[in-house]
């Protein structure tokens, strides 16, 4: 049986700012864009969350809820450099590391236990090394599969370590709310509530047929998760068929401009990971999940494979503007991905002319060099407003 770890850094961006400004330790800290330019919250530490502040919230609202907080702009290059250091720690214990974003990853340590001990011991060692070398805190879930490990890492935040033993899966899952199952949002939770289904234990004994009638093909998926079943493997990025990043919001978003700023942040993460792995792709995909659980995926295939932030952003925003269903916005999840890989050594052209291609390529190269060498945001794109995911479902 596999042993999977899900490592999730606690309030990553805000914790870095708190670490770098020790006099503010224990005080509310919020990281994000400008309140004057429709900026959104990228991260809030736990003292700020007590006031109701959460990621993807308009910064203006965050300032109203917690005016005494200390506000910091996003320093993405610094966060990326620290993330790189964290990934190096992971790879000391296993080559099977699947990053989900800058602040979380799945690790398959099934083949590492003769060298480093069982899952709990490896998780403890990783937490200790992150704490000692970077002065940051991680929460870790240890379980036989990704779904269980992800829920376990969130069970005792901050600074949690939860192990789900193979013979204790239902004991762990059954008391939890159905909302803890991936994909079940506010509207789906309300539908279950009307049926008298409040816990995973009650969901687990429902017939697959009924779930399929309620939620279509997703119904079978929900049934399997309620049983604690998830056969997805941990796939390192270099072996992945796609690289993607998606975020599930703490509350549904109905503002298109906020969705755009969040999408730009996701695009930059995906583009950076493409270049890091020397990959270029031809197909850009947008994923949207509404509050009623309906999920739509739209894609554009470009003429030549690309790893340029500008190309991917252009396509993703075009999909968001033009390809969504004609219905009111109430978005629970948004994601972006790139697939159709070709070697990074191949000559690429762009959605733009050759001169613009060279300009954007140089800009991406400079930003990547800054991230790896200096860890400071000496160059920032004007329309960049990042949003840290509140609940990461999947990324590859």
pLDDT at position 358, please?
Answer: 57
Count of beta carbons in the 10 Å neighbourhood of residue 19: 15
pLDDT at position 395, please?
Answer: 46
Q: CA 322 to CA 340: how far, in whole Å?
A: 22
Q: Is the Cβ–Cβ distance between 83 and 77 less than 8 Å? A: no
pLDDT at position 132, please?
Answer: 97
SS3 (DSSP) at 388: coil
Q: Name the pLDDT band for 360 (thresholds 50, 70, 90).
A: low
Q: Name the pLDDT band for 356 (thresholds 50, 70, 90).
A: low
Q: CA 193 to CA 96: how far, in whole Å?
A: 39
Q: Is the Cβ–Cβ distance between 109 and 124 less than 8 Å? A: no
Q: CA 194 to CA 293: how far, in whole Å?
A: 16
Residue 17 clears pLDDT 80, i.e. is over it = yes
Residue 161 clears pLDDT 90, i.e. is over it = yes
Q: Give Cβ neighbours of residue 373 (< 8 Å, ≥ 6 apart).
A: none
Task: Return the H-helix or E-strand segment holding 77.
Answer: helix 76-93
Q: Name the pLDDT band for 237 (thresholds 50, 70, 90).
A: confident
Give per-residue pLDDT as tens, 95-152. 999 998 889 999 999 999 999 999 999 999 999 999 999 999 999 999 999 999 999 9
Pick the closest to residue 371 from 97, 43, 84, 105 (CA basis): 84
pLDDT at position 265, please?
Answer: 85
Residue 302 clears pLDDT 70, i.e. is over it = yes
Q: Is the Cβ–Cβ distance between 44 and 388 less than 8 Å? A: no
Q: Which residue has the higher pLDDT, 385 or 395?
A: 395
Residue 68 clears pLDDT 80, i.e. is over it = yes
Give per-residue pLDDT as tens, 248-287. 887 788 889 889 988 988 898 899 888 888 889 999 999 9
* Cα dist from 227 to 35, 208, 223, 311, whole Å: 44, 11, 7, 41
Q: Which residue has the higher pLDDT, 348 or 155?
A: 155
pLDDT at position 187, please?
Answer: 76
Paired tokens of 363: 């800009």
SS3 (DSSP) at 38: coil
Q: CA 343 to CA 264: how far, in whole Å?
A: 25
According to DSSP, the residues that pair with 254 across neighbouring strands are none
* Annotated active-site residue in 17, 18, 81, 104: 104
Mean residue pLDDT of the chain comes to 86
Averaged pLDDT, 29-38? 81
Q: Is the Cβ–Cβ distance between 30 and 11 less than 8 Å? A: no
Q: Is the Cβ–Cβ distance between 264 and 313 less than 8 Å? A: yes
Phi-psi category of 278—alpha, beta or left, where left has phi over 0 and alpha has psi -120 to 50?
A: left
Paired tokens of 13: 């961006």
Q: Which residue has the higher pLDDT, 384 or 196?
A: 196
Residue 388 clears pLDDT 80, i.e. is over it = no
Residue 377 clears pLDDT 50, i.e. is over it = no
The position carrying tokens 């800054």 is: 370
Q: CA 391 to CA 385: how far, in whole Å?
A: 18
Residue 365 clears pLDDT 60, i.e. is over it = yes
Q: Which residue has the higher pLDDT, 96 or 189?
A: 96
Residue 11 clears pLDDT 50, i.e. is over it = yes
Most confidently modeled of 163-167, 188-192, 354-358?
Answer: 163-167
Fill in the DSSP letter of residue 233.
P
Give per-residue pLDDT as tens, 199-216. 999 999 999 999 988 888
Q: Does residue 104 have an active-site annotation?
A: yes
Pick the closest to residue 123 from 152, 161, 92, 96 (CA basis): 161
Look at the chain and count its residues.
Answer: 396
Residue 281, judged by CB atoms within 10 A of its CB (0-12, 13-18, 19+), counts as buried
Pick the closest to residue 309 from 377, 252, 361, 248 (CA basis): 361
Sign of the dihedral defined by the CA atoms of residues 132, 71, 67, 391, in that order: negative
Packing angle, helices 12-20 and 76-93, rounded to 10: 110
Q: Is the Cβ–Cβ distance between 277 and 393 less than 8 Å? A: no
Maximum pairwise Cα distance, the chain: 61
What backbone phi and psi angles, to 5 degrees, belong to 51? Answer: -95, 5
């Amino acid at each position: 049986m596999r042993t999977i770890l899900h490592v999730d850094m606690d309030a990553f961006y805000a914790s870095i700012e708190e670490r770098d400004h020790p006099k503010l330790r224990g005080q509310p800290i919020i990281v994000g864009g400008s309140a004057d330019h429709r900026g959104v919250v990228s991260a809030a530490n736990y003292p700020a969350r007590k006031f109701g502040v959460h990621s993807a919230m308009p910064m203006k609202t965050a300032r109203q809820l917690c005016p005494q907080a200390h506000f910091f702009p996003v320093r993405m290059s610094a966060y990326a450099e620290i993330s790189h250091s964290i990934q190096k720690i992971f790879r000391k214990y296993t080559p099977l590391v699947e990053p989900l974003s800058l602040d979380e990853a799945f690790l398959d340590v099934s083949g590492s236990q003769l060298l480093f001990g069982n899952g709990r011991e490896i998780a403890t060692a990783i937490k200790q090394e992150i704490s000692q070398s970077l002065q940051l805190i991680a929460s870790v879930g240890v379980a036989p599969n990704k779904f269980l490990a992800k829920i376990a890492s969130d069970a005792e935040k901050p600074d949690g370590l939860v192990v789900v033993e193979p013979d204790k899966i239902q004991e762990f899952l059954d008391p939890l709310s159905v909302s803890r199952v991936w994909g079940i949002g506010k509207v789906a939770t309300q539908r279950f509530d009307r049926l008298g289904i409040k816990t995973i234990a009650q969901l687990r004994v429902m017939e697959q047929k009924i779930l399929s009638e309620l939620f279509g093909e997703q119904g079978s998926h929900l049934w399997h998760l309620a049983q604690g079943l998830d056969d997805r493997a941990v796939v390192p990025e270099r072996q992945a068929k796609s690289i993607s990043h998606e975020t599930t919001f703490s509350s549904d978003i109905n503002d298109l401009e906020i969705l755009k700023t969040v999408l730009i942040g996701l695009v930059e993460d995906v583009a950076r990971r493409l270049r890091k792995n020397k990959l270029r792709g031809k197909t850009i995909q947008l994923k949207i999940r509404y509050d009623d659980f309906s999920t739509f995926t739209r894609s554009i295939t470009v003429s030549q494979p690309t790893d340029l932030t500008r190309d991917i952003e252009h396509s993703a925003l075009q999909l968001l503007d033009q390809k969504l269903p004609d219905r009111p916005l109430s978005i629970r999840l948004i994601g972006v991905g790139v697939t159709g890989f070709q070697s990074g050594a191949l000559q690429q052209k762009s959605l733009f002319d050759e001169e613009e291609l060279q300009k954007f390529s140089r800009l991406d190269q400079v930003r990547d060099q800054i991230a790896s060498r200096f860890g400071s945001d000496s160059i920032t794109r004007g329309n960049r407003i990042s949003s840290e995911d509140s609940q990461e479902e999947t990324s590859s």
